[in-house]
Amino acid sequence: MNQRVLHYCVCPACRSSDLRHESEKLVCPECDKTYPVIDGIPVLLPEYADEKQNRYLKNYEKLARDDLETPIVENRFMLLHQSLIRFIGSVRGKSVLDIGSSDASYLLELVAKEKVAVDIALPYLQSIPPESGIMRVCGDAEDLPVDPGRFDVIIISDVLEHLLDPERLVSKLSQYCSSKTRIIIHIPWAESLDSYRDGQYEFAHLRSFQNYNLRLLFRDFRVKKSRYGLPDLTHPFLFSLEQVMPRFLFNRLVTLYFLTDLKYVEYHYRERWIRELPKRQWWLLRLYPGQFRMFDLRKIATGSESRTFIGRYMTFWKTRLENSDRSPDVAPRAAGTDAPHAESLGKS
Ligand SMILES: [Zn+2]
């Protein structure tokens, strides 16, 4: 085992950073838990109390083995990871953590001072060559077995849609990261979950992100930059113009589309553009919605908002609303107004 990895690891049970390496296992002096080291990889998985979490772990081990044998997404590197690498930019001289690294396909390409790959599935980590210099840690993102505060850059790519409770990961980032830590996320954007319902794997994509639930999850962070990835060319561009065009003009175009050979010409090009992706991505994304979105986030200092003028005024307003709700002819409200978060995150 690369001893340097101990600088980053923490006990997933008690978050002690004092793990000791003793004969092919790590021992936590705080809570006495022991963790195996397999093929030089510390396996810092939590003890799962319920059966669902154990099923989740087994599911991802199977998915990893299947994916390594026959990639689940064809051309994943070309279609997604190349633009992610460009979005991340230079990380030279930085320490980089990749949460949910899979087989480190993009992490291998990054030039950094130190790179740590965390994944729940041991088979993925075993497939990363030890000579790549990437430190590998098997762990659950929700019980993150590394200290996020020790990294300059943290990448969370195609992970948040898979977690049972992403709040548990994001709250740790919020607690330990500084305003200088770059948090890079890559997620499917506003996707339909229908195709995952009867899929081969039980815990595939558990939620779909759009602006509200993403910003709610990362409410302690600001977006420094963001970019769309992989255009969705399912529908002809023409049909996205309804909102920006006078009705008569839009009607005319729709009629021309269906009643002339415009539909064949349009399809000919669109089919070719789909086939040749990621070529032309930069301009296609101006016309078609992106299937993915990347964000570069920074922690903000929170806690003083309620003392600002708007904060105080909103408290005054809320009190007024509560008082009017308590008036005799209005029934009292059951739910508190302080924390609408959990139910709106759409957990499944
Ligand atoms: Zn411990």
Rounded to whole angstroms, the maximal C-alpha distance in the chain is 77
Residue 342 has pLDDT above 70, yes or no: no
* Contact by Cβ (8 Å): 188, 292: yes
Residue labelled with tokens 């919020």? 174
Question: 16 alpha carbon to ligand 1 midpoint, in Å?
Answer: 5
pLDDT in the model for residue 330 = 54
pLDDT in the model for residue 333 = 54
b (16+ CB within 10 A) / e for 90-117: ebeebbbbbbbbbbbbbbbebebebbbb
Mean pLDDT score, 246-268: 96
Q: Look at 13-17, 28-32, 86-90, 301-305 and tell me which has the smallest mean pLDDT.
A: 301-305
In tens, the pLDDT along 286-321 reads: 999 999 999 999 999 877 888 889 999 999 999 999
Query: Is 331 or 13 the better-scoring residue by pLDDT?
Result: 13
Angle 119-123-124 (CA atoms, 0-180°, nearest 5)?
50
| Mean of per-residue pLDDT scores for the chain | 90
Question: 13 alpha carbon to ligand 1 midpoint, in Å?
Answer: 5
Question: 48 alpha carbon to ligand 1 midpoint, in Å?
Answer: 15
Q: Which of 129, 95, 127, 102 is nearest to 117 (CA)?
A: 102
Domain 3-231 has CATH 1.10.220.70: no
Question: 30 alpha carbon to ligand 1 midpoint, in Å?
Answer: 5
* Contact by Cβ (8 Å): 155, 127: no
Question: Domain map of the chain by residue range?
Answer: 3-231
In tens, the pLDDT along 196-226 reads: 777 777 777 888 899 999 999 999 999 999 9
